[in-house]
Amino acid sequence: MFLHLCSSAQVKSFNIDSTKFNKSLVASLDTIYNDDQATRWKFVNAEHNKASSTEIDSLKGVMIEKDKQNLAKVNQILSKYGWLGPQTVGINGSQALFLVIQHADLNTQKRYLPMIIKAEKDGETLSSNLAILEDRINVREGKEQLYGSQGFADKASGKNYVYPIVDPDHLDERRKSMGMPPMKEYKKDWDIVAYKSMLPEIQELAKQRYTN
């Protein structure tokens, strides 16, 4: 299991002077950020509104293609400049880098994980970003997550679950260390006693998703 030792100084905010921004990069990254979010929201809204399977599949295809295009741009930017924090490209610009990596394939996520660990240590990305990426990598590798950020819907039952979590009793302590709210605030129906009792069932459902 991949475990990252939490930093002692969590990153929850930034001191930003917009006069020091790289304006050309800000413009490029803001476009990437808006493309990522707009495309994704259209897909999510279509699913929520129970649109036809044809429309949902079409929007998913558009989203996948947009993700590929954005990743190509982000790869070029990171190769040339390294990580760019909010102090250099603004909140949305820096968040665009993270979101594109978060939405990329597993190998890309693992390749950039050391860069994001360093960025968090240097105060150039939110601690919660690092936590979410670590959770996503662990889940995609069939391992337990640390911070409870990743969930799934079981197609057979339609129920929503949180992927298996390392030591659920100390989950909120780990979340707090990374600037994340208590699980009860993140997931309103969270009940740790019920979660632990259902964990064997959740582990089995998750295993089926890992192997399918």
Whether the pTM exceeds 0.85: the reply is yes
Average pLDDT over residues 69-98: 97
CA–chain centroid gap for 137, Å, is 9
Residue 182 main-chain phi, psi, to 5 deg: -55, 150
Q: Looking at residues 103-131, what average pLDDT do you find? A: 97
Lowest pLDDT segment from 25-34, 70-79, 147-156: 147-156
pLDDT tens profile 132-163: 999 999 999 999 999 999 999 888 888 999 99
Provide the token pair at 145: 């997550």
Distance CA 125, CA 87 (A): 10
Model confidence band, residue 209 (pLDDT cutoffs 50, 70, 90): confident
Q: Is 40 helix (H, G, I), strand (E, B) or coil?
A: helix
Place of tokens 């990305």: 125
pLDDT, tens digit, 9 for 90 and up, residues 172-196: 999 999 999 999 999 999 999 999 9
Q: How far apart are alpha carbons 84 and 188 in whole angstroms?
A: 34
Closest CA to 120 of 131, 109, 108: 131
Tell me the pLDDT tens digit for each residue of 61-74.
Answer: 999 999 999 999 99
Residues 6+ apart with CB under 8 A from 126: 11, 12, 120, 179
More confident residue, 8 or 207: 207
